[in-house]
């Protein structure tokens, strides 16, 4: 896979304070440290189900989410843990969710980062079906437009998800309605084992914007300041009534689709090359120290702080209770809040015990 | 002959049909060099080439529609859904286009859509579904849902040769847990013929797919602990369904329990119940009863999944209730 051929503008985006520059670093570090902890827990078989990494892609999620205001809504994809952290999800929630704990955000119903919070932190959890969140976010942002609320939405999809019908229908709908929506295509080179060239015949995803009649911007997804800048511009456009923007962030998935995937389909040396030359955190450290005057000690403090936070969260999450089977029946509908248990579980035959067997009923010989 | 797994049996069946018929080709996400998410198609691209094992974009409706078009013109496409849950994205194509093609326009549509289904593996709500009932209601489709490795091979081969579109559900819990010895030669299992998985005279359990094994386990326990003789009927295909076999067994045992993994309301068991009450009500000594999943989306956490899905202990309790009725 070719490396991004986009040249970064080396000035920090306007208005970013020192604290914000450091916060960007902290979110990326937290994402990586938390995922590394999840790997350890996965190896101890404490994670239920699969584990999906965003190693090497942290700048995409963090930089873009950082461009939103708290009131704005974001819909993450499997590799956008960083964006959820920026939006207020806590490490302990993520850990509980992966360990299927009874007090996890979804009470054990859903896995990994499939959860949302529409009340306070404003993220809408994804489902597995790829592309489905694009029309959903079209509806969220259409609502903001109809109610004239000063809010925007941002939805992530992978390169693979752009092939779905839902992606196309959602982005087209939002474009026609001029919804305040930013669609982020995180182009990490692979969809499971499928390279981008087998996903689309388009030279670049950003070209698709032309077909929808919306602006498209492509950028180096491993340069967090550039990701921040292009997203911030798209957010400003959306806020001022300019409608949908398609962003293509060029990055690379250094881990397999999930932890069990050995990446046999990747060309030798490719992963190592990206790790050595294009790690978003390493690149940002260089800029923070060389251009913005941060000292290695300041960054080390952040690292230590993040490690402590993840340690504490792990302890809390490990002590969280497991789910209780019958809780599975709660909340399918608003009313009644709990489904009845089936006859073979709840006092076998309860519904039928009262039934009198008519006289004369017996075994037929026929 | 060596034993092979359920998964290998499917691969072997597909490979034999590709060998036999050059119009058979495969379409799906990551099925080529990677061999599919579960490795069902592993090695087939190396063996048959990129023209016959095609990696597709993530476009279920597109894949199914394309398969239909190819089928109209003499090809025999076999489509893989990475997880059968994603068949919902192609629901329109399958029910409106594919299923009606022959009836409305004399368009042949010999194609197979296959994929891993089912739970018991902590896959959560979108990697554990059993959508067979959603399609049972669609004339024009056929549905296979095997329980044994031998049937998996025999039915996939029949499915590929079938003149009509077939949905082929592969229970992922069985992929590597179940093994079988393949009969020699061209092993075909016909559609619409149930299998008596265990003979019995006191009670019939009608079931299919993974719950066949749970029913067999329950039958074993009931024989040992209660002296009950339980017959287990494995349907193998749901469209067409072998009602003759169901009726014959019910007339023999006079008691019937229907077990499936899908949720109970609107599930396949409802249709079986109706057929039994229409065809052999007088032979029943007890109400027809169902053991199935609770009517909730399938949750992820182990205690929740265990609670929602039917377990062997549920089948045992329900059988005891029926036997005592
Ligand atoms: C409609 C649909 N089809 C298939 C899948 C199975 N699946 C899950 S992730 C994935 C690959 C996703 O690739 P991409 O969108 O590029 O995201 P990335 O994993 O690269 O972040 C596939 C095929 C799915 N989730 N949804």
Model confidence over A271-328: pLDDT tens digits?
999 999 999 999 999 999 999 999 999 999 999 999 999 999 999 999 999 999 999 9
- Average pLDDT value for residue range A77-98: 98
In this predicted structure, what is the pLDDT of residue B165? 98
A346 pLDDT band, cuts 50/70/90, is confident
In this predicted structure, what is the pLDDT of residue A15? 85
Residue A221 Cβ < 6 Å to ligand 1: no
Higher pLDDT, A5 or A209: A209
In this predicted structure, what is the pLDDT of residue A4? 38
Residue A161 Cβ < 6 Å to ligand 1: yes
Please tell me which of the candidates B82, B291, B295 has its beta carbon nearest to residue A344: B291
Q: Could you say which residues of chain B have pLDDT below 70? A: 1
Model confidence over A152-206: pLDDT tens digits?
999 999 999 999 999 999 999 999 999 999 999 999 999 999 999 999 999 999 9
Could you give the angle at which helices B6-20 and B149-161 cross, rounded to 10 degrees? 30
A354 pLDDT band, cuts 50/70/90, is very low
A88 pLDDT band, cuts 50/70/90, is very high
- Average pLDDT value for residue range A56-73: 98
Backbone angles phi, psi at B192, to 5 degrees: 85, 15
Residue A365 has pLDDT above 80, yes or no: no
Q: Residue B318: its chain A contacts at CB < 8 A? A: 343-344, 348
Residue A358 has pLDDT above 90, yes or no: no
What was the ipTM of the complex prediction? 0.94
Q: Which ligand 1 atom sits nearest the alpha carbon of residue A188?
A: 20
A12 pLDDT band, cuts 50/70/90, is confident
Distance (Å, rounded) from C-alpha B78 to C-alpha B30? 14
Model confidence over B228-280: pLDDT tens digits?
999 999 999 999 999 999 999 999 999 999 999 999 999 999 999 999 999 99
CA angle A197, A158, A93 (to 5 degrees): 150
- Tell me which of A328, A339, A349 to substitute to probe the interface with B (most B C-beta atoms closer than 10 Å): A328
Would the CA dihedral through A183, A184, A189, A191 be positive or negative? Answer: negative
> On the CB side of A3, how many CA atoms lie within 13 Å of its CA?
12
Residue A360 has pLDDT above 60, yes or no: no
Q: Please check whether residue A344 touches B, CB under 8 A.
A: yes
Which secondary-structure segment (H or E) carries B256? strand B256-263
Sheet holding A216-220, edge to edge: A73-75, A153-158, A181-187, A245-250, A216-220
Q: Please check whether residue B251 touches A, CB under 8 A.
A: yes
Please tell me which of the candidates A100, A199, A342 has its beta carbon nearest to residue B264: A342
- Average pLDDT value for residue range A139-146: 98
CB contact under 8 A, B125 and A101: no
Residue A8 has pLDDT above 50, yes or no: no
Q: Please, what's the b/e burial string for B288-322 (b: 16 or more CB within 10 A of its CB; e: otherwise)?
A: bbbbbbbbbbbbbbbbbbebbbbbbebbbbbbbbb
């Amino acid at each position: 896979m070719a490396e991004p051929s986009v040249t970064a503008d080396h000035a920090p985006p306007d208005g970013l304070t020192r604290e914000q520059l450091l916060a960007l670093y902290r979110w990326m570090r937290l994402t990586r440290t938390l995922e590394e902890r999840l790997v350890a827990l996965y190896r101890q078989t404490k994670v239920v189900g699969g584990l999906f990494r965003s190693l090497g892609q942290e700048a995409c999620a963090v930089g873009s989410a950082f461009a939103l205001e708290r009131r704005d809504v974001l819909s993450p994809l499997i590799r956008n843990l960083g964006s959820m952290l920026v939006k207020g999800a806590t490490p302990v929630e993520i850990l509980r969710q992966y360990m299927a704990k009874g007090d996890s955000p979804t009470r054990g119903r859903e896995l990994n980062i499939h959860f949302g919070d529409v009340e306070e932190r404003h993220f809408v959890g994804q489902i597995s079906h790829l592309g489905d969140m694009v029309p959903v976010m079209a509806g969220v942002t259409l609502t903001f437009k109809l109610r004239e609320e000063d809010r925007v939405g941002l939805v992530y999809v992978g390169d693979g998800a752009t092939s779905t019908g839902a992606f196309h229908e959602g982005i087209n709908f939002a474009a026609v309605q001029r919804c305040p929506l930013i669609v982020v295509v995180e182009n990490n080179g692979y969809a499971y084992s499928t390279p981008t060239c087998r996903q689309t015949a388009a030279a670049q995803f950003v070209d698709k914007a032309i077909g929808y009649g919306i602006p498209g911007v492509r950028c180096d997804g491993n340069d967090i300041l550039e990701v921040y800048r292009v997203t911030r511009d798209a957010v400003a456009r959306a806020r001022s009534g300019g409608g949908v923007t398609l962003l293509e962030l060029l990055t690379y998935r250094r881990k397999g689709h999930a932890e069990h995937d050995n990446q046999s389909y990747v060309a030798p040396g490719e992963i190592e090359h990206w790790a050595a030359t294009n790690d978003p955190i390493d690149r940002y450290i260089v800029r923070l120290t060389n251009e913005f005057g941060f000292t290695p000690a300041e960054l080390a403090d952040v690292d230590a702080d993040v490690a402590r936070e993840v340690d504490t969260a792990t302890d809390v999450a490990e002590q969280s209770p497991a789910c209780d089977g019958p809780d599975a029946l709660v909340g399918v509908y608003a009313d009644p809040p709990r489904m009845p248990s089936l006859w073979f579980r709840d006092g076998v035959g309860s519904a039928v015990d009262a039934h009198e067997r008519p006289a004369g009923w017996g075994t037929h010989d026929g | 002959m060596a034993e092979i797994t359920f998964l290998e049996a499917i691969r072997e069946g597909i490979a034999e049909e590709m060998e036999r018929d050059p119009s058979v080709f495969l379409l799906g996400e990551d099925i080529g060099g990677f061999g599919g998410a579960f490795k069902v198609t592993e090695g087939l691209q190396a063996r048959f080439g990129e023209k016959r094992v095609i990696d597709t974009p993530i476009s279920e409706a597109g894949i199914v529609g394309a398969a239909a078009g190819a089928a109209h013109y003499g090809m025999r496409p076999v489509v893989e859904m990475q997880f059968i849950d994603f068949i919902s994205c192609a629901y329109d194509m399958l029910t409106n286009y594919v299923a009606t093609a022959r009836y409305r326009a004399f368009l042949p549509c010999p194609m197979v859509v296959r994929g891993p289904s089912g739970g018991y593996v902590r896959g959560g709500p979108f990697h554990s579904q059993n959508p067979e009932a959603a399609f049972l209601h669609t004339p024009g489709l056929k549905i296979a849902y095997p329980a044994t490795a031998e049937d998996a091979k025999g039915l996939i081969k029949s499915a590929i040769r079938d003149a009509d579109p077939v949905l082929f559900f592969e229970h992922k819990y069985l992929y590597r847990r179940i093994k079988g010895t393949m009969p020699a030669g061209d092993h075909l299992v016909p559609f619409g013929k149930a299998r008596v998985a265990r003979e019995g005279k006191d009670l019939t359990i009608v079931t299919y797919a993974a719950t066949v094994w749970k029913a067999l386990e329950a039958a074993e326990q009931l024989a040992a602990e209660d002296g009950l003789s339980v017959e287990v009927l494995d349907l193998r295909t749901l469209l067409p369904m072998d009602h003759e076999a169901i009726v014959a067994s019910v007339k023999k045992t006079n008691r019937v329990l229907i077990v499936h993994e899908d949720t109970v309301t609107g599930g396949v068991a409802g249709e079986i119940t109706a057929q039994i009450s229409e065809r052999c009500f007088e032979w029943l000594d007890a109400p027809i009863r169902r053991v199935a999943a609770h009517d909730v989306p399938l949750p992820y956490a182990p205690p929740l999944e265990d609670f929602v899905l039917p377990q062997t202990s549920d089948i045992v309790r329900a059988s005891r209730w029926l036997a005592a009725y």
